[in-house]
Structure 1
Amino acid sequence: MKFSALFTAPLAYMPFSTPATEKREKTAKTAPAPVKRSRSAKVKKPAELKPYRGISIVFEDCACEAVKKIGSKRFLLSDDDAPMLPLPACDAARCDCKYKHHDDRREEEHDRRFSSTLRTDLYEDSGKENRRAGKRRGRRKSDT
């Protein structure tokens, strides 16, 4: 036997003697077959949640007095101040009250921003000069 043959022939009793091609075949992972998706199955981004989402309680005429006291009051969802249903003081045999979700806790007819916006618009529509814009306001030079 030649001396060089000792280094090229695989030794069956040695764990590292398996040729590299056989190792690759044994350890190669098969990639899963690609899954075909329809266009409607594409992952959509979740809708951005509005910060002032609200919740109110919807109830029937035969509801308990505890729910009737709350009425149609809207609670801010992010504050977790909405009461759990059924209410602790509920005396109904079966509570049929449900939550109703709102995009905005504020009711449209009670929007507090409306009056100030209206006032500004009326002032600008009157034709008077807007004295706030353009001039630098502040202290007089003689005051310093």
Structure 2
Amino acid sequence: MNIKTLFTTPLSYLPFSNPTTGKADKGASRKSATSKRTGTAKDPQPLPLKPWRGTSIVVGKRPCEAVKAIGSRRFLLADGDTPMLPLAACDASRCNCKYMHHDDRRDDEHDRRLTATLRTDLYEDSGNENRRSTGRGRRKTDK
């Protein structure tokens, strides 16, 4: 093998790079260069983003007055109203505040759905019928 061949056809001297030679190593693939992989593996799809993702600001050791005014407020990521850190009115020499990411902007303590369930249960316990559970429509066939 001469030096000129090495530079004009790079890696052609390796048995697994040229499938037409038939001199492949034991672990090398014998597929032609034009063949494509066939498999059932799909490209990884990105996970759907949750619509109520939010952020809050975790204060540092010495919080400034600007971040104290915000408090523990949660910001909806979709609105884009999350303030950039450090805050514009931050008077600290070095800001130690950080973002905390939440899957759901809504806080567990302020879940209004719990009281609605209680009202529905009390309504049914008082002898009234829950009409939402019956399938009714505007047409005669929707019964």
> What is the letter of the counterpart of residue 31 of structure 1?
A
Match of 2:129 in 1: 130
Aligned mates of 2:112, 2:122 — CA distance in 1:
17
Displacement of 1:104: 0.9
Output aligned runs, 1:1-80, within 5 Å. 31=33, 43-80=43-80
SS of the residue 1:79 aligns to: coil
Aligned mates of 2:63, 2:34 — CA distance in 1:
57
Match of 1:114 in 2: 114
Number of residue pairs the alignment of both structures matches: 102
Match of 1:101 in 2: 101
Residues 95/33 of structure 1: CA separation in 2 closer, same or farther (3 Å cut): farther
Aligned mates of 2:54, 2:126 — CA distance in 1:
40
Displacement of 1:31: 3.0
Displacement of 1:114: 1.9
1:34-63, Cα deviation, whole Å (9 max, x unpaired): 78xxx9xx7432222111111100112411
Aligned mates of 1:98, 1:131 — CA distance in 2:
47
Aligned mates of 2:99, 2:34 — CA distance in 1:
45
Return the index of the structure with the highest Cα Rg.
Answer: 1
Displacement of 1:101: 0.7
> What is the letter of the counterpart of residue 72 of structure 1?
S
Aligned-pair RMSD on alpha carbons? Answer: 2.9
Residues 96/34 of structure 1: CA separation in 2 closer, same or farther (3 Å cut): farther
Residues 32/55 of structure 1: CA separation in 2 closer, same or farther (3 Å cut): farther
Aligned mates of 1:114, 1:73 — CA distance in 2:
21
Aligned mates of 1:34, 1:98 — CA distance in 2:
48
Structure scoring higher RCO (CA < 8 A, sep ≥ 6) equals 1
Displacement of 1:65: 1.0
Structure 1 residue ranges without an equivalent (≥5): 1-29, 137-144
Structure 2 residue ranges without an equivalent (≥5): 1-31, 137-143
Aligned mates of 1:82, 1:107 — CA distance in 2:
17
TM-score by length of 1: 0.59
Identity of aligned residues (%): 60
Match of 1:14 in 2: none
Residues 131/92 of structure 1: CA separation in 2 closer, same or farther (3 Å cut): closer
> What is the letter of the counterpart of residue 33 of structure 2?
A
